[in-house]
Structure 1
Amino acid sequence: MTAAKKAQGPVLTTRALNRATLERQLLLRRHTMKPAGAVAHLLGLQAQNVKPPYYALAARLDGFDPEEFSGLMASRELVRIVTMRSTIHTHTADDALALRRLVQPARTRELNLFRKGLAGVDLDQLAVQAKELVEEQPRTLKQLREVLLETWPDADPQALGLAARCLLPLVQITPRGLWRQSGGVFLTTLTHWLGRDDEPEASPDDTVLRYLGAFGPASVKDFQTWSGLTRMREVFERLRPGLSAFRDENGVELFDLPDAPRPDADTPAPARLLPEFDNLLLSHADRSRVVRPEHKGRTWAGNFAYSVFLIDGFLAGTWAMTEEKDRVTVTFEPFDKLTKSQKAELEAEAAQLLEGPMGLGLPYDIGYGQVVRTQ
């Protein structure tokens, strides 16, 4: 008998799961917490590109100021580093130290994906040499590969760079990640960048509890999808006496913090504009709590991800912003026909973004496909 068939506890409908997750994700209403506090609560922000963390917080925080967030990057209170799912995240300095150590086994396993290109390479020696190189001076992956190739000329250059990224906690140093500033991807080690190494590895138990606080209710597979870690069932079983258990509509067991908010399924959910790679869409094995089955896979084109918008709490389409010298244009591509009130809500959300600190202070257009409304 499968774990799903054994699951006990009340059933949470998809809509109830949606509202609970949005509440944990700070998306049912904008919050007044500080940016660093929000980043910590959310266990980091997906950050393959520079702008997504800013747009992620603009959708979640009241009066969000991108310059304040940028200042936290400049002062090294926030950093950009590979952690969960082998992707770049923006974390608080403490979480960068603790969570990277927790997920290091997953990063080490990742080496198996390109082991052929590392034939004959002493990985311990590679880690030591790469650490010395990036701490001597920040380097790009290309620069790092070129030096490592001098030691292992027969290795695959790409594999050498990826191995260094897997073995070492490499951060992207500023000005990369600062608001409206350009900067290449130069790397050094996390401890060298922070000037400290005083944060212990995050415990699996505490991380599960934090994950439920930010993404719950959730299954064991959901946590494993978010973290990239495996064999986490025993951690959940150890925590079970202190957790609440539910089932989704398919009978899958979900865990949650007993006192965590689970709003009524009919709680209003405002329109929200989210960036590409927002963790709301990437942190569960079953994404149906936010993505309806008919819309699955519509936010990607190859390796490219679109920015998305939510209507009534669910993924409803994509959006793009084009910046020109004297004008900004936001274009929406809904997956289904929107009502007049839904369009009004969506346009009001876009106007708030464009007219606030995130905007450029320029005139703007809001449109759908080829139909553009001038403001």
Structure 2
Amino acid sequence: MAEVVHRLAGLQAQEPRPPYLGIWTRLEGFERDGLHAALRAGTLVRATMWRATLHLVTAADFAAFRPVLRPVLAAAARRFEGIDFDAVVAAADRLLARGPMTFNELRPRLLEEFPGAYDRALGYAVRMLTPLVMVPTEDRWSFPRDPAFALPGFDLAPADPRTLIERYLAAFGPATPADVQTWSGLSGIKPLMKGMDLERLTDVAGRELFDLPDAPRPGGDVPAPVRFLPDFDTLILGHADRTRVLAEEFKGRVATKNLRVKAVYLVDGFAAGTWQIKRTGKQARLLVSPFTTTSLDLLEEEGLRLLAFAEPDATSASLEVAMDGA
């Protein structure tokens, strides 16, 4: 399980449930208790990482890559002006050294030290500039609505940015420098990739792609089974050119104006529709919204497996095409 998270250099974790589903769809035999245990043991952590958003990553990757991302996170924090960032970080470190706090607990304490400041700006600065991990609980998906944050309890040791590039390519290559920059949020990727010992390829549009030497590159005739990806999945967010997975005409049906990225299902390796789970009492329904005509028979086996994992206490489960507004 930790190897899946390592292989992908993290899974998007804006909300608690998607990482569970993201691992489930990628790992045969995955059980919820395994992720619970890894989070409690601290081998996996949920923290602010790539693109200044929450991810589930290994503790080792947090230690190696969180310092590399500091320029990205510092730039995000600078959206608020008039803040003494060094002083705020020092205050947060001192307060959190006493023990974990939710941001609803931390912000008032910061205001005591920075009276008149905008409390949300103070909290956001801490999120970006102070390496923190979420504290897991016994909640169903390991985290409550208002989670506590803590100092990691281990030292950070920055990795070489080229290691970051190699890890991205191992997960998503072949890729352009723009793909790596979009995934990570870091700039200056292209000259680094140009100087590395990487395989050079060309895509159908004539763009130069990079990949790890001798990396597996299966052809288009290799079967790709149906897969259900959760909201905000790394596969959808991991490329500058999302048409590798999501056709241009369907982008607006996946990425919404309020910045949500909907759960999609893949048919033959491409996003073929969105899905959502609806629960009424003991009945669980998987509602699919196809982009094009798709046989429900093709989706049913994997869809019912998804429901069995996500809603294990449901006494009935069904897969249905969503009506407008469902």
In structure 2, relative to structure 1, the CA distance for the partners of 1:178 and 1:357 (3 Å cut) is closer
**SS of match in other structure, 2:57:** strand
The aligned counterpart of 1:325 is 281
Output the amino acid matched with 1:56: G
In the TM superposition, 1:13-92 aligns within 5 A as 35-92=1-58
- 8 Å contact 2:284–2:314 — kept in the other structure? no
Distance across 2 between alignment mates of 1:356 and 1:320: 14
Q: Deviations over 1:5-29 (max 9, x none)?
A: xxxxxxxxxxxxxxxxxxxxxxxxx
Alignment RMSD (CA, Å): 1.8
Partner residue of 2:264 out of 274, 285, 308: 308
CA distance 1:335–1:287, shift in 2 (3 Å): same
8 Å contact kept, 2:304–2:318: no
Aligned to 2:189: 232
Q: Distance in 2 between matches of 1:174 and 1:57?
A: 17
Deviation at 1:325, TM superposition (A): 2.8
Residue 216 of structure 1 and its aligned partner are, at CA, apart by 0.4
Residue in 2 that maps onto 1:267? 222
Q: Which has the higher contact order (CA 8 A, sep 6+)?
A: 1
The answer (yes or no) to whether the contact 1:66–1:357 under 8 Å persists in 2 is: no
1:212-235 CA-partner distances (Å, limit 9, x unpaired): 000100011110111110011221
- Partner residue of 2:122? 160
| 1:63-122 residue CA offsets vs partner (Å, 9 max, x unmatched) | 11111111111111111000000110011111111111111111011122122xxx1x32
Per-residue CA deviation, residues 338-373 of structure 1 (Å, 9 max, x unaligned), is: 1x3xx21211111222345863352112100249xx
Secondary structure of 2:264's partner? strand
Residues 123 and 182 of structure 1: is their aligned pair in 2 closer, same or farther, counting only changes over 3 Å? closer
Structure 1 gap segments, 5+ residues each = 1-34
Residues 174 and 183, structure 1, Cα contact 8 Å, conserved in 2: no
Report the TM-score when normalising by structure 2. 0.94
Match of 2:160?
A: 203
Question: Which residue of the other structure, out of 168, 177, 186, is the alignment partner of 1:220?
Answer: 177
Distance 1:181 1:45, change over 3 A: closer
1:105 aligns to 2:62 (yes or no): no
Q: CA deviation at 1:303?
A: 3.0
Aligned residues: 323
Q: Secondary structure in 2 aligned to 1:305?
A: coil
Q: Percent identity?
A: 37
Match of 2:300 among 347, 350, 367: 347
Give the distance between the partners of 1:168 and 1:255, measured in 2 at CA.
Answer: 33
What is the alpha-carbon distance in structure 1 between the residues aligned to residue 138 and residue 74 of structure 2? Answer: 26
**TM-score, normalised via structure 1 length:** 0.82
Structure 2 counterpart of 1:274, one-letter code: L
Distance 1:345 1:358 in 2: 21
Structure 1 residue 154, shift from structure 2 partner: 2.2
